[in-house]
Amino acid sequence: MKLNGQTHQQGVLTLLAVGILAGCQTLPENMTGESGPLFRRGIISQVGDNLHFKPCYVQKGELISDRSGRLKEFFQQYEVPAAYAELSGDHLYLGEPWAVYKVHMLSGNQLSCSYELSGNHYRAAGEKPVWVVDVRDEGIYVQNYGRLSQLIFPATEPVQQGNGLEWNSSLTGFNAYDLTLRLLQQRCTDRYGAVYQYRSEMVLNGKMHFGCARQGDLDIRTLPGLYRANLAGVRGEGRFITLDLTVDGQALMNQDYRNNQPVIKQQGSWKRLEGRTIILELNDDNSRAEKQVLIFERDKQGALKMKGYNSTYGRSGLRLERVGPAQSYRKSIRVEAGPSPD
């Protein structure tokens, strides 16, 4: 897995310098499926007794409630004004802050938002010597900096092993290699004090290597959400456009021309193609048979920028900025009774 154009070695150094703090708080039982816990990433800071969270690529921040206990523990231990975080939680009650139940990662700074580990399901790494394993669809990439070599093992399905996952793969030829990779759901701390969600074990030709690991594909996991744009009009305020992308692949686009006419609503689906390309297929609210197909590219600021010429939006296209979670996470009440902390 590459870190957005960084070299493998830079990626290793970045990985080893970033802290990951995993919580173990149990989520409410009825928070499952598409209505279940929301994964978010961004910058967290402590102001007095309050915790403030500003999601990656979103201008507006918010107060959050730490049900995990890990966030306050972190700020008590380290004298830092802010840190990058990967969190899971939900809005539970009307008017209350977003409740955090799991802390998957905690350290780094604003630049950490750009490290998305695209195409990597998992990354494991360790030291003495430095080694990195990237689990991808096309193979398992092993970097061994002690021997300055890279091995690409055939992709295999992981096997559930108690509290973790295990991959086994082999290479044959002039030099034969056998690989076993285990990721265990245990807190793991590296030499920099960074704490990770997984402890990793790599066995390469019988030699054991130990390290830590984290989950990747951060761009895919954070694509669902609310996006919007204000388009200037020749006469008047112009158009206000919102686009909701849900976790289960549904899309809802609303266009308000601000001319005292009903809002134009389109529903359909979305999917991610290669790289940063997103394709939408939308039907108008009059249920006509033909679909409107729109192609966007996600830019470095997390916004969706339309690709190519469009008869509705012209050559300048349409740019939708990310503003928050998807529709299902903006409901006023999510559960009937409050969860009991562990």
Q: What is the DSSP string of 71-82?
A: HHHHHHHS--SE
Type and span of the H or E element at 156:
none
Between strands 264-272 and 177-184, the pairing is: unpaired
- For the record, the structure tokens of 138 come out as 């096309």
Tell me how many domains the chain contains.
3
Tell me if 333 is assigned to some domain.
no
Query: Is 20 in the same domain as 94?
Result: yes
Point out the domain boundary residue: 215, 248, 281. 215
Q: What gap in Å lies between CA 242 and CA 30, rounded to an integer?
A: 29
% of the chain residues with pLDDT over 70 = 80
Query: Is 174 in the same domain as 190?
Result: yes
Name the most confidently modeled range: 138-147, 163-172, 237-246. 163-172
Whether pLDDT at 18 is above 60: no
- For the record, the structure tokens of 188 come out as 């793991």
Task: Read off the pTM.
Answer: 0.78
Query: Is 205 in the same domain as 278?
Result: no
pLDDT bin (cut points 50, 70, 90) of residue 271 is very high
Q: Exposure of 175 by Cβ count < 10 A (0-12 exposed, 13-18 middle, 19+ buried)?
A: exposed
The string of DSSP codes covering 106-145 is E---GGGGG---TTEEEEEEETTTTEEEEEETTEEEEEET
Q: What gap in Å lies between CA 263 and CA 257, rounded to an integer?
A: 7
Point out the domain boundary residue: 114, 130, 149. 114
Between the alpha carbon of residue 180 and those of residues 128, 155, 168, 194, 248, the distances in Å are 18, 12, 5, 24, 33
Query: Is 184 in the same domain as 271?
Result: no
- For the record, the structure tokens of 227 come out as 């996006």
Query: Is 191 in the same domain as 124?
Result: yes
Query: Is 211 in the same domain as 229?
Result: no
Point out the domain boundary residue: 58, 92, 114. 114
Between the CA atoms of 23, 84, 302 and 242, what dihedral angle is there, to the nearest 10 degrees? 60
Domain ranges, residue 231 = 225-325
Of 138, 84, 143, the C-alpha closest to 115 is: 84
Query: Is 26 in the same domain as 109?
Result: yes
Type and span of the H or E element at 207:
strand 207-215
pLDDT on residue 291:
81
pLDDT on residue 20:
27
pLDDT on residue 285:
60
| CATH number of the domain encompassing residue 48 | 2.40.50
Tell me if 267 is assigned to some domain.
yes
